[in-house]
């Protein structure tokens, strides 16, 4: 990320970063585009501010830029690890999105969550680094690398809106608490965050691969994994089941004590994708096989029951 | 304060409490009333949200209820210790304000800052306790009792808007950081906050009285103290000087290393009161006399210089 100190604003996580940007750039009735399927809390925020929120479909390369509606003032994307599907936005698509923003005089919020947990492969340049015309607002979070309850994230804003973002933060809540900021700053300065991230990258990669292996071995007839090389979750598209059947499967698994999510939970428009989101941020690798066996059982018992 | 657990929302200080209320109750263009003179950050917030902000004059009994403009949707007041003047809102004025809110279908934000530091006299019932129709939103803060950089405060809302306030908090930044909340909860549970408040009440009262004595002895010809029995600052109205002369005095005192504020800094409309605000939250009692002597010197040297 290219930046100067004055262009960074510490926020209470990603959610407040988006709120500050919306306060500065948008007015009620303005159109905002989000990914569909996509991360839900930003959409709820934008809707609560009276904005017109449109879901734009994604494909294997990320957001389909040509599908962004006219008169969109801002687009919110997760290019490193599309939430919830998990693929990275391709370089051509990033370049197309930047060109779109420039043409439309629009802004892009790049939510770079999970970029710290990349399991090989070369990272693609962030939109923020590719941007030459000050269109991109970059959002980072310590919720995944550290702890969500810390509520620590940050914004990197183009110079043109720094003062306005700082003013928006001031009127909102003055500043993010200094005790937590100071603790994190010491943690970073002493090299602990880098060490923690390195360690957890190995841990998460092991869990990631464990899930890949199980899905390949036991769900190949029903699920197709979305290629992904980063993060704390993996998604799989249904080959044979409808989104309703997936939702029922998820409910049965939950009743058996295994928490997975239906992809349809993340839809914006009516077009629900049928699939599963498998999170592994909080499960030890030793318990993954047992959990997935329960998930497998919940699928077939359900099929039997419903006949 | 009368409340149930579900009616309390922890916020990042008073400022965010007001932001949440505004999100829930107000739309751009709505009219909000604030005290004039009054606390500045809420006014900046309300203006940033596109609200019509009107300053309503105060007298020795607090906000002049009859001067609230028609069509006001919300009024923000500091009844325990009017900021910056320091008097308490009288009971008749409180009752009149509640009746006004009921008649106009309006809401009241009661910012009860500084109520913990009361130096004798019986406290008047909070608006929140007097309210029988769910008009009052009560705001408390730990910025004065603990530390402003903690960013911890809370809202007590009428049952009718609790769900909306919780949703507004969620879309804004999910929740206030748990590490600081947990630390404060332990500090309260173990009796340390009560102990700290008791101790500081004595400390602040000593500073308060030191200032009263000095002003009586040395500024009686120029300043008239606003009766006040609480808090971390005291205000004095000018008897002979204009608000411009006061501002020049404050600037000269600042150049000499003494920080006081001109009352005119807190004006909303053009009617600036001429006077001084003397804060004593951060000065040891042993240094007050020396500081006030410099302040006294800055007044006369200025008068000499300008002749």
Distance from CA of B104 to the nearest CA of A (A): 26
Spatial CB neighbours of A258, under 8 Å, sequence gap ≥ 6: A291, A294, A295, A298
d(CA B58, CA B81): 12
The sheet carrying B275-279 orders its strands as: B223-225, B233-238, B275-279, B261-262
pLDDT for A306: 46
B33 and B56 Cβ atoms separated by less than 8 Å: yes
State pLDDT tens for residues A212-263: 999 999 999 999 999 998 999 999 999 999 999 999 999 999 999 999 999 9
Helices assigned H by DSSP within B125-242: 127-130, 162-173, 178-189, 192-218
State pLDDT tens for residues B228-240: 989 999 999 999 9
Q: What is the mean pLDDT of residues A135-155?
A: 95
Which has more pLDDT, B119 or A304? B119
User: With contacts defined as CB-CB under 8 Å, which chain B residues touch A179?
Assistant: 149-150, 179-180, 183
User: With contacts defined as CB-CB under 8 Å, which chain A residues touch B183?
Assistant: 179
Instruction: Classify residue B306 as exposed, middle or buried by CB count within 10 Å of its CB (0-12, 13-18, 19+).
Output: exposed
Asked if A173 and B180 come within 8 Å (Cβ–Cβ), the reply is no
Mutate which of A21, A150, A168, A177 to test chain B, going by most B C-beta atoms within 10 A? A177
State pLDDT tens for residues A263-276: 999 999 988 899 99
CA-nearest of B78, B17, B11 to B45 is B17
Q: Does A248 touch chain B (CB under 8 A)?
A: no
State pLDDT tens for residues A54-84: 999 999 999 999 999 999 999 999 999 999 9
Q: What mean pLDDT is reported for chain A?
A: 95
Could you give the 3-state DSSP secondary structure of residue A77?
Answer: strand
Distance from CA of A166 to the nearest CA of B (A): 13
Segments of chain A assigned E as strands: 8-11, 31-36, 52-59, 62-63, 72-77, 107-111, 136-141, 153-156, 223-225, 233-238, 261-262, 275-279
**DSSP output for B137-160:** EEEEESTTTT-GGG--EEEE--GG
Asked if B174 and A15 come within 8 Å (Cβ–Cβ), the reply is yes
Q: Does B143 touch chain A (CB under 8 A)?
A: no
User: With contacts defined as CB-CB under 8 Å, which chain B residues touch A184?
Assistant: none
Distance from CA of A269 to the nearest CA of B (A): 20
pLDDT for B302: 58
B138 and B128 Cβ atoms separated by less than 8 Å: yes
CA-nearest of B12, B60, B57, B82 to B231 is B82
pLDDT for A307: 38
d(CA A61, CA A82): 10
User: With contacts defined as CB-CB under 8 Å, which chain A residues touch B19?
Assistant: 171-173
CA nearest to B153 within chain A = A173
Look up the ipTM and state it.
0.91
For B238-265, b/e burial (b = at least 16 CB within 10 A) is beebebebbbbbbebbeeeebebbbbbe
Asked if A16 and B173 come within 8 Å (Cβ–Cβ), the reply is yes
Confidence of residue A44 (pLDDT cuts 50, 70, 90): very high
Distance from CA of A170 to the nearest CA of B (A): 9
Pairs from B199-202 (Cβ < 8 Å, separation ≥ 24): B200/B117, B200/B145, B201/B116, B201/B117, B201/B118, B201/B119
Q: Does A29 touch chain B (CB under 8 A)?
A: no
d(CA A78, CA A84): 9
State pLDDT tens for residues A150-184: 999 999 999 999 999 999 999 999 999 999 999 99
pLDDT for B301: 81
For A22, the token pair is: 């919306």
State the distance between the two ends of chain A, measured CA to CA, in whole angstroms: 55
Q: Does B168 touch chain A (CB under 8 A)?
A: yes
Asked if the bond preceding B131 is cis, omega within 30° of 0, the reply is: no
Q: What is the mean pLDDT of residues A95-113?
A: 97
Asked if B170 and A44 come within 8 Å (Cβ–Cβ), the reply is yes
- Facing A180 at nearest CB: one of B15, B170, B180: B180
Angle between helix axes B40-48 and B13-25 (nearest 10 degrees) is: 40
CA nearest to B20 within chain A = A172
Asked if A149 and B179 come within 8 Å (Cβ–Cβ), the reply is yes
DSSP state of A26: -
Average pLDDT of adjacent 10-residue blocks, chain B of 307 residues: 92 98 97 98 97 97 97 97 96 98 98 91 93 97 93 96 97 96 96 96 96 96 94 96 96 96 94 94 96 95 54
Q: Does A19 touch chain B (CB under 8 A)?
A: yes
Segments of chain B assigned E as strands: 8-11, 31-36, 52-59, 62-63, 72-77, 107-111, 136-141, 153-156, 223-225, 233-238, 261-262, 275-279
pLDDT for A120: 82
For B29, the token pair is: 């263009």
Q: Does A171 touch chain B (CB under 8 A)?
A: yes
- Facing B174 at nearest CB: one of A151, A171, A180: A151
């Amino acid at each position: 990320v290219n930046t100067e100190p004055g262009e960074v604003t510490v926020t209470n996580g990603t959610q407040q970063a988006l709120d500050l940007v919306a306060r500065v750039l948008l007015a009620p009735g303005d159109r905002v585009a989000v990914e569909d399927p996509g991360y839900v809390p930003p959409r709820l925020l934008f809707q609560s501010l009276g904005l017109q929120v449109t879901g734009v479909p994604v494909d294997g390369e990320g957001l389909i830029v040509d599908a962004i509606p006219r008169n969109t003032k801002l687009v919110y994307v997760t290019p490193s690890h599309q939430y919830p599907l998990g693929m990275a936005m391709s370089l051509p698509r990033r370049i197309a999105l930047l060109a779109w923003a420039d043409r439309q005089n629009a802004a892009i919020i790049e939510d770079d969550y999970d970029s710290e947990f990349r399991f090989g492969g070369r990272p693609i340049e962030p939109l923020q680094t590719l941007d030459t015309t000050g269109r991109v607002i970059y959002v980072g979070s310590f919720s995944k690398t550290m702890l969500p309850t810390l509520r620590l994230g940050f914004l990197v804003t183009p110079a043109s809106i720094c003062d306005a973002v700082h003013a928006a933060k001031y009127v909102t809540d003055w500043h993010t608490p200094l005790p937590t900021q100071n603790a994190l700053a010491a943690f970073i300065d002493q090299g602990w965050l880098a060490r923690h991230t390195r360690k957890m990258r190995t841990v998460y990669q092991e869990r990631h691969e464990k899930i890949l292996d199980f899905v390949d071995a036991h769900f190949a007839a029903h699920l197709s994994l979305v290629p992904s090389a980063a993060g704390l979750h993996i998604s799989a598209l249904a080959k044979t089941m409808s989104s309703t059947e997936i939702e029922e499967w998820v409910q049965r698994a939950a009743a058996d004590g295994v928490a997975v999510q239906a992809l349809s939970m993340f839809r914006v428009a009516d077009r629900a994708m049928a699939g599963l989101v498998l999170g592994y941020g909080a499960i030890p690798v030793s318990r993954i096989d047992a959990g997935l066996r329960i998930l497998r059982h919940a699928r077939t018992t359900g099929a039997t029951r419903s006949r």
